[in-house]
Structure 1
Amino acid sequence: MHHGLIILYSFIAAFLGFSSAFAAEPTARIHGILINADSMYRDNERQTAELEGNVQIVFQGQHIRADRAQVSLRSRQVQLYGNVEIMDAKNTIVGRQVHLDYDNNTGIIYDGYVQSGSVLFAGSVLQKTGDSDYVVTSADYTTCTNCPATWSFTGSTVRAELGGYAYIKNAILRLGNVPVFWFPYLVVPLKSDRQSGVLTPIFEVSDASGFSIGIPYFWAISESSDATIELKEYQKRGLKGLLEYRYVLTESSYGTLNAASLKDKAISSDSRFNKYRTTQEKNTSLDRWFLKYEHYQEMPDGGVHRAQVNLASDLQYPKDFPLETLNHGDSAMENRVSYTKNTETQHYSVDSSYYVNLLHADPLAYNDDAVHRLPELRFSQAQKSFRDTNFVYALDVDLVNFARAGNAYDDMTALNQNGTNYKFPTNSCAAPLWEDTPGCVRQYDGKYDPDIDQIRTGQRLDLRPTLAYPFQLGNTVDFVPKLAYRETHYSFNIPDQPYLARRYLRTELTARSKISRVFGDALSSKATRYKHEIIPEITYTRLPWLSQDQHPFFGTGDMANAPFSSRDNVSDLDIASDYGLQFDYTDRVYDRNLVTFAVTNKLTEKRWVMDRPEYRQIGYLKLAQSYNEGGATGAGASQQWSDLTAILDVRLDYFQTYTIANYYPYQNVTNTSSRARVLNDKGQFLEGQLSLQYPITPGQEVDVSKRQEDYTFSAGFISRYLNAMGKITYDANPKDASTNEYQVKSWAAILQLKPPGDCWIINLATDKVTGGDTRYFVSFDFNFDGSPKPPLPSSTLDLYGF
């Protein structure tokens, strides 16, 4: 009956008065309780009321329905019989019979259930011990909205606190009506807040590890920190302990620590390790571990402290457990600590980087050949006006110490095979690929040979002051003439010529213009509009003066034949080249006499969102190429044009693409890295990627057979009962030239099954990393609190199939 009618009837009844016994009046207010029934009888002496037929009682925000009821006003209790239903703002209680103390909000429910949202407890006897506390006998718990429930836990006893936890004794997990797993004691959360508890098991199968099961425990340490501790048993490897610790210092300062350890039994028969182990070490287990730490903290003085640690017991660990170190396929594991501070015009930083070389063939190789930056100090003065003139100046200072545990230099051996020059560390096997042969070791003669040996450690001080005078001509062309001076000092840890210096002047003139037009509805002030800009520019650089000490560190060939554009990369091919391999590209003199042409197209959208304008760049295309007007000598004498670079970036609502292409006119090949994605509002997507890289050496033809050509296809699908996404990477280099057969380098697939009821998700995943084995994962996400889980983001694919 409508609540307003109940109040009206109550008012009339109070006005007329009641006798000690009544049967015809359908509605009454007794001691603040609104009562309605087909027939009612009240005994004033005993202070009881008998209600029969369509009983409805309203008291303290609770609405009670039943077939029959007995109300004891003296003990403040009510006995409810037949189709009992008790509802408040959060919970619903249903039962065959209910004894309720309505003053203390406690009672007993027989053959019924309690429902809060989609959390439901059913049992033969339910004791209500508080506003949200229950003890249930012969209980059944689920959060599924379908009937019969897709999953449920049955237990001999359940103690539940709605909004807290449920404690289940002798818990049996049932899928439908089929029992599948027994737990002697189970604690499940009934709220969406962070809380400690055992998470659902994770199952994994792979060729190298066999079957494994992981039992994770989530520990809510405090409001600002938590941890996941997991024990994982591998069929072939043994027991592993894993830890992930997370903390938040402030809204913008946080960190994560990951670690694991196991005594790996599978290594005893692993040929990758046994190939390099001694006779005593072969066929034995190996202690393996990893440590990964990331930290970001904004300091009170405006500075930022960053830390990154990534270490492992052996070089094979990232391949065997790629989801832990997250760097499979990298050439090194980077460990870095830095402090930076930026003001409006200045930058300060202290940075240290330690690298673990992953390119050794021996998984247990020492790291004494890796070169580290310990430390690196930087200062930058951004462009700043000189007093009240148009002159602007800037300054960059960089001091870095290159260090390693091994020798300060490498003894090198030069070799020419079939017209190809090789240069490699001197070793006992006199072979370029000496590390592939067990027993081969590096050799040092104890004397630095400047004609061939490679310097690997030292200190470098680099100063780069610049002075510019920007001006505009006719409001159409911007000119920026610039004069830069560079001075670089080196100190090497070698006995001969330990000090080097290089100084030069670079002049630069840039001319830039802009042509633009606006498209769209010009009449409406809130119409969507587009602005197209074309920005042509030309930059001329020249080195009028250069002073450089003669030393093999700078290369032995004619400097005019060295790479002349700042876009040229430093690679392993430089080791055997005439211009040598230095610490990094800072050690080279580039853009010597260069004219660079570029044109940029920009497309910007202006649209209105909630009465506020929103701007976004939806299209970007830049083309650039350089010409070495000073000429060249040697093998690259006629190759004065640099590669033609194209950058395309398109970001629309349902289409995105990003492409970088470098066309080399003299080699007639194009290095390309490109991706394109089509997506919709549901999160479904289809993406294709291409990575095509040729080894480029100035003055030499390209060996097409050594190209790296990979195609990656990925897609994601989201629906009511199924989410799926996957990717596959093809190596377009033929495995066998005679069959021209392509091979799959890696793949990953993730499948989320969502049975009816919105109460759980079955996660299935499989992947194969490059050079690794195939793995399968199974895990379950139960919605213990009744809150449906969102689908996995597409970025989850990046964790699988490197």
Structure 2
Amino acid sequence: MTDGRLRPLAGFAAYVFLLLSGILLAGGAHAAQQPQPNVLQMRTEDDREVTWNLTADTVTSQNDSKIIEAEGRVALRRGQDYLKADYIRYYSTTNWVYLKGNVEVHFGKDDIAAEEAEFDLRSRTGWMKNGRIFMGEPHAYFAGERIDKNWGDLYTFTNAKITVCDGDTPAWSLTAEEAVVEIDGYARLWRSNFQVKDSDVAYSPYFVMPAKRTRQSGFLMPQYGISSRDGFYYNQPYYWVLDETSDVTLNEYAMSERGFMHGVEYRSRPTTDQTTWLRLDWLYDNEVVDSDGDDPIDGSDGLVRTNHERYWLRGMFEQRLGDPRWRLKGDLDFVSDQNYLREFKRGLGGFSDSRDNLFSLFGRDINERDRYRTSQVMLTRDWDRVSVALGGRYDQDPELGNGNRSYSSDSLPQRLPEADVYLHRGALFEGLPLEVQASAQSVYFHRRNGTQGARHDVHPQVVLPVNGKYGSVISSVGLRQTVYDTERRESLPGDGGDSSGESRTLPDYNIAASTEVARVYRVESAPLTLTAENAGQSRWTGIRHALQPRVEYNNLPLLDQEDNPRYDGDDRIGARNELVYSITNVFTRKREVVRMKTNDEGVAEPDLGTDYLEFLRVKLQSGYDIREANRDDELDTYERRPVLDYRAEVQYFPVAWLAWHSISAWSPYTGDVTQHDHGLTLIDANRGQLTLGYNWRSSLAEYNRKRDYDINALYLRGEASVWGPWSVGGEYRVDIENGTDLERIFDIIYTHQCFKLIGRTTFDREEERYEVLVVLPGLSD
């Protein structure tokens, strides 16, 4: 009897029954109502003793426990690994186990299901009939009529089927008569078919796909589409892992109207503070621009492009030199012509892609597409209060050559060498409230044309901070001393003066006073009930309103600097005599939240937590320009307007799904609004995100600011779920003032558990572009 229940019997029948039961128990048979644990001891291949725990409804041992059979809810466990089946037979002499009926096996991160299976528990090798393996990393299913698990993580399949899709009828799959799969390696398929909904679409005699949990070499998803400027294009990247810390991406970019572009990208990051990123793209362009009117980028800038050879070399690196306080960093940015970055701004290797990569890796930006390209190298060292930087910088003018001005006319100053020293703010003498900070710079400016020489600049400042019960006042006095060591005087048009200046002494003064007054307001609401059902419920219990007035005065005297050399903006420092005052309102809410917290016994129980959020900030600002109030020149053209525009800034974050920022300015003289910058963002975890922004500037003709046209632009960007797996996204920017669209990007997105299909349409002033992107997890990530 295996159910453990004895029914009343009479006389001799009862005696026989009890006798037979005693014999069975003595012979080793064991029966129980609930699964009972049995300990199986065995030695591994490296001669370690391990323990497996066996539970089942019925466990029977034979041949002096050399064979153990178990039926009903059978489970064999060791740590996180387990084998389950309706029936298990275990051979203790060989450590082999046979499983039949609803077989489930979990080894490491892989889950196996089969009708029948057999495993060597020492080496974890074996075979499965009508088996299916789920590999958690990557998310992939591998099935076959027969699966052999070889030593290590190598599987062989007969009549295999591979997919990353859930469900019995996957959206896409690969079938093969034979397959070999190596975990953290590749799946190799012979005589395979690509299937959509179990229907054959494409045949391949041999196919390889990654089956790795870590970085892997292989082809990445291509980018392809149609452009009104480039024609049909296809960009195929290949990712090559060099070692654990470095890799290379190679890509071939074919454009029917332009030719082939070749790209190579190198990345290395052995530690978080040692990083290198370099990329070169090169194209022999079939198209040239012989006249300005034919220029698809800007037909009125007076520039052409006669070069076929086009390229962009860029990169950054950071390296510590032994002592982590010594660091070497550099930037590289060199382009073939003025149009390259504006033509190739999208896609793999485009301007936006490279800019995002560099900023995410180094936290530094590169110049905008229409600016000079800057390459530099810098060696830095930090002490407690002193930092030193030594380096050099080269600025390239992409408008030189290629049918435009000759390279011999280059007048950009190159900073080589350059030395900077910074004394960080700190006490001047112990016991005195005075503090001191300073900066010093020495640069030699090389130029092919124009004034050439060195500039030495020292700028110490003495700071007096006064902090009291009712606020703080911080004042500083500085003196900038500049000395020019001019080697060649050759003023260029627009420089002004004759570059005969040899020195400059410029004092500066600043004082800022601020304080804060605050009050807390209680918010009355029903108290929260501490129950598990109320987890996540919250209520506001208070609002703190802080008022922060601030007044700041800046003074830089008017100094004639027109005869000094003009290398950069630091050679012409404008006068200031200005008072700026503002008042900021900060609103912070206090909230109670019901949350689940684990107690000392490891049991989750409801608990009351408190958090704070600054949900509203309103700043009002204006000022008074004393220099403007005393101005005597050009009064017939520009009347005095010393009062600065009234300016309001608002930041509002009331809930997690809404954010609003706004800046507006108003002129007290014209009574008109002079600036609008507004942005509203709506966020829904299930439906998507939408951002709407508006920028506007009025045309001004004032003493210290001048623009002859209005700026009036609107932008909209976001992504939103439409229905089921369908969503739409994109970006729209329009110049309302001129009635022209700056950029239109529209995406139609279909998202499935095992693939994503994106159709993208892009319109801007330079081209129309149509793209299709198919993402297959496991194949084209």
TM-based fold match above 0.5: yes
Contact 2:481 2:503 in 1 (8 A): yes
Question: Contact 2:559 / 2:575 at 8 angstroms: preserved in 1?
Answer: no
> Do the aligned partners of residues 344 and 616 (structure 1) sit closer, same or farther apart at CA in structure 2, a change above 3 Å counting?
farther
1:335 equivalenced with 2:381 (yes/no):
no
Equivalent residue in structure 2 for 1:228, among 237, 244, 249: 249
Aligned mates of 2:104, 2:551 — CA distance in 1: 80
Aligned with 2:389 (options 346, 349, 369): 349
Q: Which runs of 5+ in 1 are unaligned?
A: 6-10, 20-25, 410-456, 555-580, 735-741, 790-802
Query: How many angstroms apart in 1 are the aligned matches of 2:239 and 2:375?
Result: 28
Deviation at 1:166, TM superposition (A): 1.4
Which gives a bigger RCO, structure 1 or 2 (Cα 8 Å, sep 6+)?
A: 1
Equivalent position of 2:436 in the other structure: 393
Inter-partner Cα distance in structure 2 for 1:464 and 1:378:
11
1:87 partner amino acid? V
Are positions 1:469 and 2:464 aligned together? Answer: yes
Amino acid at match of 2:460: P
Residues 360-389 of structure 1, C-alpha deviation per residue, up to 9 Å, x if partnerless? 897866562444444443333333333222
Asked if structure 1 preserves the Cα contact closer than 8 Å seen for 2:745 and 2:762, the reply is yes
Distance 1:346 1:521, change over 3 A: farther
Give the conservation status (yes or no) of the 8 Å contact 2:622–2:643: no
Question: 1:318 pairs with 334, 341, 345, which one?
Answer: 341
Q: Given the alignment, which residue of 141, 144, 148 partners 1:123?
A: 144
**Is 1:748 aligned to residue 733 of structure 2?**
no
Q: Give the corresponding residue for 1:378.
A: 420
Query: Which secondary structure state, in structure 2, belongs to the residue aligned with residue 634 of structure 1?
Result: coil
Match for residue 480 of structure 2?
486
SS at match of 2:702: coil
Instruction: Please state how far the C-alpha of 1:732 moved relative to its aligned partner.
Output: 0.9
Q: Which amino acid aligns with 1:325?
A: F
Alignment length (residue pairs): 675
Tell me, in whole angstroms, the C-alpha distance in 2 between the residues paired with 1:503 and 1:28. Answer: 90
Cα deviation digits, residues 282-341 of structure 1 (max 9, x gap): 9x9822221221223455352544322222222211122113223665433333333444
Q: Return the offset for 1:151.
A: 1.0
Write the mapping of 1:293-692 to structure 2, written as runs, cut at 5 A.
293-297=315-319, 300-323=323-346, 324-326=350-352, 329-350=369-390, 352-357=392-397, 368-387=410-429, 388-405=431-448, 407-408=449-450, 458-471=453-466, 475-476=469-470, 478-492=472-486, 493-494=488-489, 498-520=500-522, 530-542=543-555, 548=560, 551=562, 583-584=568-569, 587-591=572-576, 593-604=577-588, 617-620=614-617, 621-628=619-626, 631-635=630-634, 636=638, 638-651=640-653, 653-663=656-666, 668=672, 670-682=674-686, 684-692=688-696
How many Å apart are 1:209 and its aligned residue?
2.0
1:694 CA drift (Å):
4.9
CA contact (8 A) 1:187 1:197 kept: no
**Closer, same or farther in 2 for the Cα pair 1:665/1:39, shift >3 Å?**
closer
After TM superposition, the structure 1 stretch with the greater mean CA deviation from structure 2, 774-783 or 475-484, is 475-484
Within the alignment, does 1:291 sit opposite 2:328 as a pair? Answer: no
Counterparts of residues 2-13 of structure 1 (less than 5 Å): none
| TM-aligned CA distance change 1:31 to 1:602, over 3 Å | closer
- Cα–Cα, structure 1 residues 84 and 483, in superposed 2: closer, same or farther, change >3 Å? closer
Deviation of 1:176 after TM superposition, in Å, equals: 1.7
Whether the 8 Å contact between 1:209 and 1:266 is mirrored in structure 2 is no
| Counterparts of 1:39 and 1:344, CA distance in 2 | 72
Secondary structure at the counterpart of residue 318 of structure 1: helix
What is the alpha-carbon distance in structure 2 between the residues aligned to residue 461 and residue 29 of structure 1?
84
Question: Tell me, what secondary structure is at the counterpart of 1:499?
Answer: coil
- The answer to whether the 8 A contact 1:624-1:646 is kept is no
- Deviation (angstroms), 1:730: 0.5
Tell me the C-alpha RMSD between the 2 structures: 4.8
| 2:420 aligned partner, one-letter code | R
The CA deviation at 1:150 is: 0.9
> Taking structure 1 as reference, are residues 111 and 583 closer, same or farther at Cα in structure 2, changes over 3 Å only?
closer
- Superimposed CA distance per residue, residues 493-551 of structure 1 (whole angstroms, 9 cap, x where no aligned partner): 31655333332434444443332223446999x986554332323334556x77646x4
Q: For 2:239, what is the secondary structure of its paired residue? A: strand
Distance 1:402 1:317 in 2: 28
- With the length of structure 1 as denominator, give the TM-score of the two structures: 0.71
Distance 2:379 2:687 in 1: 38
Answer whether contact 2:564 2:571 (CA < 8 A) is retained.
no
SS in 1 for 2:295: helix
Note the alpha carbon deviations across 1:729-785, whole angstroms, 9 max, x for none: 001123xxxxxxx22111224444222xx22223443334x5321223333333339
| Structure 2 partner of 1:708 | 711
Select which of 767, 771, 778 maps to 1:784.
Answer: 778
Identity %: 19
For the 8 Å contact 1:273–1:362, the answer to whether it is kept is: no
**More displaced stretch, 83-92 vs 201-210:** 83-92
Unaligned runs of 5+ in 2: 6-20, 30-34, 42-52, 353-366, 491-497, 528-538, 598-607
Q: Which amino acid aligns with 1:16?
A: A
For the structure 1 residues 176 and 465, does the alpha-carbon distance in structure 2 shift closer, same or farther, using more than 3 Å as the test? Answer: same
CA displacement, residues 181-240 of structure 1 (integer Å, 9 cap, x when unaligned):
455543323343222222233323212222222332222222222232222322233333
- Provide the secondary structure at the position in 2 that maps to 1:88: strand
Which secondary structure state, in structure 1, belongs to the residue aligned with residue 342 of structure 2?
Answer: helix
- In structure 2, relative to structure 1, the CA distance for the partners of 1:219 and 1:649 (3 Å cut) is same
Q: Which residue does 2:14 correspond to in 1?
A: none
Letter in 1 for 2:333: N
- The CA deviation at 1:258 is 2.1
Tell me which residue corresponds to 1:775. Answer: 769
- For the residues of structure 2 that align with 1:27 and 1:384, how far apart are their CA atoms? 73
> How far does residue 402 in structure 1 lie from its aligned partner after superposition?
4.1
Per the TM alignment, residue 111 of structure 1 is displaced from its structure 2 partner at its CA by 4.5
Matched residues in 1 for 2:54 and 2:517: separation?
Answer: 78
Q: Return the match for 1:143 from 154, 164, 184.
A: 164
Answer yes or no: is 1:17 the counterpart of 2:39: no
Residue 152 of structure 1: CA displacement? 0.7
Cα deviation digits, residues 36-59 of structure 1 (max 9, x gap):
8999998x79x99999x9896858
**For 1:113, which of 99, 113, 132 is the aligned residue?**
132
Moved more, 605-614 or 240-249: 605-614
Residues 337/688 of structure 1: CA separation in 2 closer, same or farther (3 Å cut):
farther
Distance 1:528 1:133, change over 3 A: farther
* Residue of structure 2 aligned with 1:253, choices 263, 266, 274: 274
- CA displacement at 1:255 relative to structure 2: 3.0
CA contact (8 A) 2:747 2:761 kept: yes
Q: Match of 2:341, SS?
A: helix
Matched residue SS, 1:487: strand
Which aligned pairs between 1:209-220 and structure 2 lie closer than 5 A? Answer: 209-220=230-241
Q: Do the aligned partners of 1:205 and 1:211 also contact (CA within 8 Å) in 2?
A: yes
- 1:594, distance to aligned residue in structure 2 (A): 2.9
CA distance in 2, matches of 1:767, 1:394: 51
Instruction: Please list, as runs of the form range in 1=range in 2, the aligned pairs for 1:144-293 lying within 5 A after superposition.
Output: 144-267=165-288, 271-272=294-295, 286-293=308-315
The one-letter code of the counterpart of 2:482 is T
Aligned with 1:319: secondary structure? helix
Give, in whole Å, the separation in 2 of the partners of 1:681 and 1:642: 43
Distance 1:586 1:622, change over 3 A: farther
